[in-house]
Structure 1
């Protein structure tokens, strides 16, 4: 019976993907702009009723094609430290190592890769000491790991909360974005209620205010006030992610580059402006720039790399890492075609 149910579920998921419409893609783009907007707020710009949008989203999220989740804000005042970790494994050990990493809440993203490394991970910690402990003491004890290189992130120029599916026109985006306010970083302390709310929103970033209040044991007004405070302070952000199959099955290619410190800021901003860009960060180590691009095929990666070298001659490429499969993204477990199949909640706050 389990096998039959599994086959039925696979057929149902495939059916949902085949029936994805332009409205579905527009809805996902709208939620990337306004992840927690009420359906009624999106109805006008998308030209659909609130009930239709709610129904469409239930199908997409139920099939693991799209989801909204809370993530650390880019300008958090809590001192969250993050790093990329490249891991080399012994032959035949990568699956075992990956299974161990999946269960670690500090390891928020995991990709199996081609190139100079077997695994590329994104690691979050509450401070530099804790980050160092995870990257050295804990990983050093994992059987099957041959070597680990830590690439400390010093500044993020572009990341997943700003990536867009590009299904809306400029007028629709403007209609959605005009009410958005930018975070204003400020000191803020978190108590047990804040942590309870964040834990729930990591799992489902679109939980209704009433449901959040019920789960945290506080009033709806308190929930609204708390989440608004945390968002305004840059502690938390919300992001609508998509399965690779919904995004056109892109290939993630990560580039490590070096550039003079005097030109680092302008180069990173230039990379962030590329349509293919998924992430750009200034880092420390053998390189000082880390960029991830989502491309359609290996030929596109080569073409784009050549264009970057021509456009930014001051940056020299040190390494390139091609992603084969994303096992985990910001705590959400991904299965076939990058669909969300589960969650191992992150808690870096």
Structure 2
């Protein structure tokens, strides 16, 4: 990714695109105070440099039956670069896992998964623990109410 600093207009473009990824380039240009061509070039530059990593549709979990949201803390019994690499390899290939983070603190991994129900969760947890290269303990947190979820990054103006 390019390390060139983002100016005020780049940040405004990114702010709008995070919330309205399908906005027409003409409307985006008007909202950031540019003509269409320079705005389009800025967006292309942000894409080429890896600042914009993609565009996607957000699907309502309820619409596809994924009503259970669960977070799992995983604490490994032993740690090494090799162990971390093996854990990463296994968790990357589990489609139910939406996010997985190696963290510091009282446990090693924080996993976020969306599932159809507790039965599916039980199978996922069993698969995770079975595929880990070392014994591990887990603590699960089932979400009762989603207060806020966003992918938009706050951008300093």
Superposition TM-score, scaled by structure 2 size: 0.85
Q: 2:22 aligns with which of 196, 206, 213?
A: 206
- For 1:314, the equivalent position in structure 2 comes to 134
Task: Report if the CA contact (8 A) 2:46-2:52 is conserved.
Answer: yes
Q: Match of 2:98?
A: 278
How much has 1:228 moved relative to structure 2? Answer: 2.0
Compared CA separation, residues 195 and 315, structure 1 to 2 (3 A): farther
1:296 aligns with 2:116: yes
Q: Note the C-alpha offset of 1:297.
A: 0.7
Q: Counterpart in 2 of 1:242?
A: 59
Q: Do 1:279 and 1:292's aligned partners in 2 also have CA atoms closer than 8 Å? A: yes
Offset of 1:327 from its aligned partner? 2.2
Unpaired segments ≥5 residues, structure 1: 1-184, 332-344
1:192 to partner: Cα distance: 1.2
Task: Say which is worse superposed, 227-236 or 194-203, in terms of deviation.
Answer: 227-236
Bigger share in strand: 1
In structure 2, the residue matched to 1:255 is 72
Given the two structures, how large is their TM-score scaled by the length of structure 1? 0.41
In 2, Cα distance between equivalents of 1:277 and 1:319: 16
Contact 1:252 1:294 in 2 (8 A): yes
Shift of residue 346, structure 1, vs aligned partner: 4.3
Contact 2:87 2:133 in 1 (8 A): no
Q: Distance in 2 between matches of 1:268 and 1:258?
A: 14
Question: Structure 1 residue 279: deviation in Å?
Answer: 0.8
User: Is the alpha carbon distance of 1:308 and 1:228 closer, same or farther for their aligned partners in structure 2, counting shifts above 3 Å?
Assistant: same
> Which of residues 141, 144, 149 in structure 2 aligns to 1:324?
144
Distance 1:226 1:200 in 2: 13
Alpha-carbon spacing, 1:188–1:247, altered in 2? closer, same or farther (3 Å)? farther
What runs of 5+ residues in structure 2 fail to find an aligned partner?
none
Kept in 1, the 8 Å contact 2:72–2:111? The answer is yes
Q: 1:266 to 1:223 in 2, by over 3 A?
A: farther
Deviation digits for residues 174-210 of structure 1 (CA, Å, limit 9, x no counterpart): xxxxxxxxxxx12121111111112211221110111
Number of the residue aligned with 2:5: 189
